[in-house]
Structure 1
Amino acid sequence: PGEVQGVHYHFLSTEEFEQRIDAGEFYEWARVFGNYYGTSRKVVESLLAEGKDVFLDIDWQGAQQVREHHPEVRSVFIVPPSLEILEERLRVRGQDSDEVIAERMAKAQAEMSHYHEFDYLLVNDDFNNSLASLEHIVLAQRQKMPHQQIRYSCVLKELLG
Structure 2
Amino acid sequence: MSQAQGTIFIVVAPSGAGKTSLVAALLQAEPGVELSVSYTTRAPREGEVNGKSYHFVDRSRFEGMIAEGDFLEYAEVYGNYYGTSARWLRERLAAGHDVLLEIDWQGARQVRKVFPEAVAVFILPPSIAVLESRLRGRATDSEDVIARRLSEARAEIDLVADYDYVIVNDDFATARQDLISVIRCQRLQAGKQLSRHGDAIAAMQSPR
TM-score by length of 2: 0.70
The answer to whether residue 63 in structure 2 is matched with residue 18 in structure 1 is yes
Partner of 1:140: 185
Residue of 116, 120, 126 corresponding to 2:171 = 126
Q: Which amino acid aligns with 1:142?
A: R
Q: Which amino acid aligns with 1:56?
A: L
Q: Could you give the per-residue CA deviations for residues 27-74 of structure 1, whole angstroms, max 9, x where no partner exists?
A: 221222222111222332333234222111111111111111111111
The runs of at least 4 consecutive aligned structure 1 residues that moved more than 6 Å come to none
For these two proteins, the number of residue pairs brought into alignment is: 161
CA distance in 2, matches of 1:109, 1:39: 25
The structure with the greater share of residues assigned to helix is 1
Q: Which amino acid aligns with 2:169?
A: N
- Say which structure, 1 or 2, has more relative contact order (CA 8 Å, 6+ apart): 2
Q: Which amino acid aligns with 1:151?
A: R
CA distance in 1, matches of 2:137, 2:145: 14
Give the RMSD, CA atoms, in angstroms.
1.8
CA distance in 2, matches of 1:19, 1:160: 57
Q: Could you give the per-residue CA deviations for residues 61-118 of structure 1, whole angstroms, max 9, x where no partner exists?
A: 1111111111111110111111111122222233333322221112111111111111
Distance 1:25 1:156, change over 3 A: same
Kindly report which structure 2 residues correspond to 1:42-121, keeping only aligned pairs within 5 A, or say none: 42-121=87-166
CA distance in 1, matches of 2:75, 2:145: 18
CA distance in 2, matches of 1:92, 1:109: 19
The structure with the greater share of residues assigned to strand is 2
